[in-house]
């Protein structure tokens, strides 16, 4: 790998980096796509749901060839009590035509996506770690890798090195993420026969169902999930790292607890655990987004904290940010200007996109979750809601008016009184509507 010059070097072949490499290569630029794993996807984990719209913007009709699991026709939300659940959900077959989103597995999907970037002309450089950014006179001019003679020079470096983003940190655009700006998710892939999955979740061939779980996270801010793949289930739980540290609970024990919940246990029983995995999720939201571009560089995806935790969207934000960075690179190449001023167009494009608008809407959520109320929000309230529902539906001769009072009292007491409940409601509303 003698010193070679590229128009664009992309670091990281996840959804953000691959989208950037695909776009830039398709635009005729000379692109290198660097990935530290044995192949793209080798190190990658998500819940995982893949959305149509943002990838379709890049590759029309991609779903006809991409390795996807099941088209999601039903999304459920379960609020768990210790051995009960209050459930919500929406099933609609309109989500099939056209598909809205699919469950997916990253090892298959990321490899396929990267192969599209390769076909577009991006040069794959895998099993290679970028150890530092090369800088001259304050501008980024390439990357140093752990290969022998591993320097690559480029007019633009697109940083898509994921949630840990050691390169973003080396640029000084963010301090180290604080433990309340990330969640640790642990996940298992559980194999079951296709028909068993379809029977248990009331699905037809290729139809999928997602269940988000609130509660039973040992009083930590976090969410569980259970998704249907073709012949496996994805089950996992993500909890805020600051809470995890405080509670001194093993992350896989939180998952074990959720797996034992009677509502969950019946859905997964008899299955074989095929893989355990763990990954960090950026949770800082809007106020954690770092500067997105500078002299010779742009940053995309998880590395720029682009995750909408409320709607568990991430790969779609990553793909759009990568596409916008790729398009900016093409325009910069045409002008021959790779300065911060020229690449600022990328920041502007992100600001004009749904990424910025959605994260702005929920900008208060991080503050709400990091404010020390996890025990109440994720343990007491879900349990109280279950107790209230139990009370309301139990026919035991107590007059309904009295029952309603008891049910409300459960919720009010969990919140610490009427005033606190009102305050929490307002706080929650504001956090979701910034």
Partner 1 sequence: MSQSIEERLFTIRYKADDKSHLIIKDQGVCETCRDKDCNYFCPADVYLWHEAEKMTSVAYENCVECGTCRLACPHYNIEWLYPTGGYGITYKYG
Tell me which H or E stretch contains 95.
none
Radius of gyration of the chain (CA): 23
**Distance in Å from the first CA to the final CA of the chain:** 49
Alpha helical stretches, state H, 120-240: 166-171, 194-201
Of residues 83 and 204, the one with the C-beta less far from partner 1: 83
What's the CA gap between 157 and 7, in Å, rounded?
9
| Distance set, CA 360 to CA 116, 178, 325, 357, 366 (Å) | 32, 20, 20, 5, 11
Number of residues that bind partner 1 (CB under 8 A): 58
**45 counts as binding partner 1 under rule CB under 8 A:** yes
Residues 6+ apart with CB under 8 A from 67: 104, 105, 108, 109, 112
Binding piece for partner 1, criterion CB under 8 A, among 93-101, 125-133, 197-205, 391-399:
125-133
**429 counts as binding partner 1 under rule CB under 8 A:** no
Site string for partner 1, 90-109 (x = CB under 8 A): ---------------xxxx-
Answer for which of 3, 57, 256, 402 binds partner 1 (CB under 8 A) is 256
Report in angstroms how near the CB of residue 43 gets to partner 1 at its nearest. 6
Report in angstroms how near the CB of residue 357 gets to partner 1 at its nearest. 28
Of residues 242 and 387, the one with the C-beta less far from partner 1: 242
Q: How many CB atoms lie within 10 A of CB 90?
A: 10
Binding piece for partner 1, criterion CB under 8 A, among 133-141, 267-275, 284-292, 357-365:
267-275
Binding piece for partner 1, criterion CB under 8 A, among 184-192, 204-212, 311-319, 407-415:
184-192
**146 counts as binding partner 1 under rule CB under 8 A:** yes
Of residues 155 and 181, the one with the C-beta less far from partner 1: 181
Q: Strand pairing partners for 86?
A: 79
Of residues 240 and 388, the one with the C-beta less far from partner 1: 240
**244 counts as binding partner 1 under rule CB under 8 A:** yes
**261 counts as binding partner 1 under rule CB under 8 A:** no
What's 378's DSSP letter?
I
Alpha helical stretches, state H, 46-143: 52-56, 106-119
Of residues 86 and 226, the one with the C-beta less far from partner 1: 226
DSSP for 265-297 reads HHHHTT-EEEEEEEEEEE--GGGGPPP-EETTE
Of residues 22 and 109, the one with the C-beta less far from partner 1: 109
Site string for partner 1, 162-181 (x = CB under 8 A): -xx-x---------xxxx--
Report in angstroms how near the CB of residue 413 gets to partner 1 at its nearest. 31
**232 counts as binding partner 1 under rule CB under 8 A:** yes
**70 counts as binding partner 1 under rule CB under 8 A:** no
| Distance set, CA 213 to CA 39, 79, 222 (Å) | 32, 6, 9
What's the CA gap between 45 and 42, in Å, rounded?
9
**276 counts as binding partner 1 under rule CB under 8 A:** yes
Report in angstroms how near the CB of residue 280 gets to partner 1 at its nearest. 5
Token pair 């107590």 is at which residue?
A: 398
Question: Do 381 and 414 contact (CB within 8 A), yes or no?
Answer: yes
Residue 113 tokens, joined = 């996506």
**386 counts as binding partner 1 under rule CB under 8 A:** no
| Distance set, CA 65 to CA 22, 25, 28, 107, 159 (Å) | 16, 20, 24, 16, 28
Of residues 48 and 322, the one with the C-beta less far from partner 1: 48
Please report, as ranges, the residues that interact with partner 1 according to CB under 8 A: 36-39, 41-46, 105-108, 110, 126-129, 145-147, 163-164, 166, 176-179, 182, 184, 186, 188-189, 232, 241-242, 244-245, 248-252, 256, 259-260, 268-269, 271, 273-280
């Amino acid at each position: 790998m003698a010193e070679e010059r590229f128009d664009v070097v992309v670091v990281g072949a996840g959804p953000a980096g691959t989208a950037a490499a695909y776009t830039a290569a398709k635009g005729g630029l000379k692109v290198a796509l660097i990935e530290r794993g044995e192949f793209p996807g080798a190190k990658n984990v998500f819940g995982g749901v893949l959305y149509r719209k943002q990838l379709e913007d890049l590759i029309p009709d991609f779903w006809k060839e991409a390795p996807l699991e099941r088209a999601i026709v039903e999304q459920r939300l379960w609020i768990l009590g210790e051995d009960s659940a209050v459930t919500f959900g929406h099933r609609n077959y309109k989500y099939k035509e056209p598909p809205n989103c699919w469950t997916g597995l990253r090892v298959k999907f990321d490899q396929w996506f990267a192969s599209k970037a390769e076909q577009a002309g991006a040069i794959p450089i895998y099993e290679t770690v970028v150890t530092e950014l090369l800088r001259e006179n304050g501008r980024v001019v390439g990357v140093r890798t752990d290969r022998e003679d591993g320097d690559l020079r480029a007019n633009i470096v697109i940083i898509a090195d994921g949630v840990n983003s050691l390169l973003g940190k080396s640029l000084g655009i963010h301090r180290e993420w604080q433990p309340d700006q990330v969640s640790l998710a642990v996940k298992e892939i559980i194999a079951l026969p296709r028909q068993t999955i379809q029977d248990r979740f009331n699905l037809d061939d290729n139809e999928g169902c997602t269940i988000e779980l609130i509660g039973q996270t040992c009083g930590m801010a976090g969410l569980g999930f259970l998704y249907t793949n073709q012949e496996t289930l994805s089950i996992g739980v993500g909890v805020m790292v600051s809470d995890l540290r405080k509670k001194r609970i093993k992350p896989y024990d939180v998952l074990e607890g959720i797996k034992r919940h009677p509502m969950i246990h019946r859905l997964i029983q008899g299955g074989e655990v095929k893989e355990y995995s763990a990954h960090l999720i950026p949770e800082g939201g809007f106020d954690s987004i770092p500067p997105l571009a500078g002299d010779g560089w742009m940053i995309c995806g998880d590395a720029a904290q682009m995750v909408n935790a409320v709607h568990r969207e991430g790969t779609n934000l990553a793909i759009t940010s990568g596409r916008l960075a790729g398009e900016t690179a093409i325009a910069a190449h045409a002008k021959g200007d790779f300065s911060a001023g020229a690449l600022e167009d990328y920041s502007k494009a992100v600001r004009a996109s749904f990424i910025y608008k959605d994260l702005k809407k929920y900008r208060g959520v991080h503050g709400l979750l990091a404010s020390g109320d996890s025990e109440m929000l994720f343990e007491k309230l879900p349990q109280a809601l279950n107790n209230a529902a139990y009370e309301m539906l139990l026919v035991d001769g107590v007059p309904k008016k009295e029952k309603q009072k008891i049910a409300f009292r459960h919720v009010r007491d969990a919140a610490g009184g009427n005033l606190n409940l009102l305050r929490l409601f307002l706080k929650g509303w504001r956090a979701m509507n910034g």
